[in-house]
Amino acid sequence: MTPPTPTPDPQSVSTSVTRSAFFIVATVNEDAASRAAVRAWCADVANLARAVGKRVPNGNLSCVVGFSSDAWDRLFGDPRPAELHPFREFGAGERVAVATPGDLLLHIRADQTDLCFELATQLMTRLEGAVTTVDEVHGFRNFDMRAMIGFVDGTENPTGTEADHFTVIGADEDPGFAGGSYVLVQKYLHDMKGWNALSVEAQERVIGRTKLHDIELDESVKPSCSHSSLTTLTDADGEEIKIVRDNMPFGRPGSGEFGTYFIGYARSPAPIEQMLENMFVGRPPGNYDRLLDFSHAVTGSLFFVPSQPLLEALAEREPGAAGTVDTADASPAQPPESEPSAAPGANGSLAIGSLKGAPRYE
């Protein structure tokens, strides 16, 4: 019997929620020197994280790096991750999941803000002159994991091996990119005056959970337009399809800015995109997420997160180079049999088209 192909070590995708997080989205400058600098930087990320983290061994410092579809083409060329594509907008009018510029994502986490700050400084210093920061958010853990709107966030996150199952690409799915993940980010701003004007009971109907105890409302009273209803997906067997959320509150009270930075990791972007379509368009259309009456998405980007060995090996990759990066842990990429497609099924189920080796949600 042929032993299973080992999956390369992923980046710190499913790390436990920390007390602080920095989110930096940047574009890569157009000149060849900038692209070369970013490629070389890929080999330094892990070393810099280790060096900074060593100063506070129990600080739980980690960093995840992701690349957009356009950035991958300009920096590394073919082959490319099978399901990487530009961010897809959903909705219309004032209720839109907007797409905004972003080639590079840094998701830095730690239990101390100074660790996040130091690592961000070191990483961005190495990229000076090669990238332009288009968005930077410093998030904080709010009491007992509460979102800015006062409800516990991330209750249904998978953990341990279950988290790996839902977030890490397997060796039989997209072989050249096994150990990788997809990550989608959005920055939401909240109308806190409007939200706080609602009664607690009305807020609970919007979210679909109790505010104090974080218990899901009974199906007999939970509205179909509640946030939890529209972001719950199941497969053909009725099993829930999960993602890992590491959302963080942020804000500037003096400026009246209150927000949530949404960040979701999955082994395919399709489940997260289906959640967004359910929220912004509705399931069925028109039955949209009522949380969007008080929350406005101002950014949106999709990135691929390479495995740790592939990230380091990308330092030697250039567009037009034949084959994949040669690492001990990465297998040659195989082209997909057809373009992936996603469509909603009955009862919120999700179907993904015939991509060879990809997870199938019927």
Q: Which residue's structure tokens are 């986490």?
A: 109
Catalytic site includes residue 153: yes
The Cα–Cα gap between 113 and 110 comes to 7
Among left, alpha and beta (phi > 0; psi -120 to 50; other), residue 256 is: left
Do the beta carbons of residue 67 and residue 145 sit within 8 Å? no
Instruction: Summarize pLDDT for 161-180 with one digit per residue, the tens.
Output: 999 999 999 999 999 999 99
CA distance to 26, 139, 147, 200, 206, per residue, from 151 (Å) = 30, 16, 6, 11, 11
Q: Is residue 238 part of a domain?
A: no
Residue 350's pLDDT is: 54
For residue 200, name the pLDDT band (cuts at 50, 70, 90): very high
Q: Is residue 100 part of a domain?
A: yes
Residue type, 27: T
Quickly count: other Cβ atoms within 10 Å of residue 252's Cβ. Answer: 9
Residue 320's pLDDT is: 67
Residue 1 has pLDDT above 80, yes or no: no
Q: Is residue 321 part of a domain?
A: yes
Residue 125's pLDDT is: 98
Q: Is residue 285 part of a domain?
A: no
Instruction: Summarize pLDDT for 264-314 with one digit per residue, the tens.
Output: 999 999 999 999 999 999 999 999 999 999 999 999 999 999 999 999 999
Q: Is residue 5 part of a domain?
A: no
Q: Is residue 199 part of a domain?
A: no
Residue 39 has pLDDT above 90, yes or no: yes
Continuous H helices in the chain: 32-41, 45-53, 69-75, 113-126, 160-167, 192-196, 200-207, 227-230, 270-280, 308-313
Q: Is residue 331 part of a domain?
A: yes
Domain containing residue 54 = 20-190+243-267+299-341
Q: Is residue 282 part of a domain?
A: no
The Cα–Cα gap between 203 and 199 comes to 6
E strand intervals along 62-209: 62-67, 90-92, 95-97, 104-110, 131-140, 181-190
Length of the chain equals 362
What rounded mean pLDDT belongs to the chain? 89
Which DSSP symbol is given to 16?
Answer: P
Instruction: Summarize pLDDT for 115-145 with one digit per residue, the tens.
Output: 999 999 999 999 999 999 999 999 999 999 9
Residue 106's pLDDT is: 98
Instruction: Summarize pLDDT for 214-268 with one digit per residue, the tens.
Output: 999 999 999 999 999 999 999 988 999 999 999 999 999 999 999 999 999 999 9
Provide the 3-class DSSP secondary structure of residue 329: coil
Residue 358 has pLDDT above 50, yes or no: no
Residue 256's pLDDT is: 96
Catalytic residue among 9, 73, 144, 153: 153
Total tally of structural domains belonging to the chain: 1
Instruction: Summarize pLDDT for 312-357 with one digit per residue, the tens.
Output: 999 998 886 544 444 444 433 343 333 333 444 434 445 433 333 3
Which DSSP symbol is given to 209?
Answer: B
For residue 360, name the pLDDT band (cuts at 50, 70, 90): very low
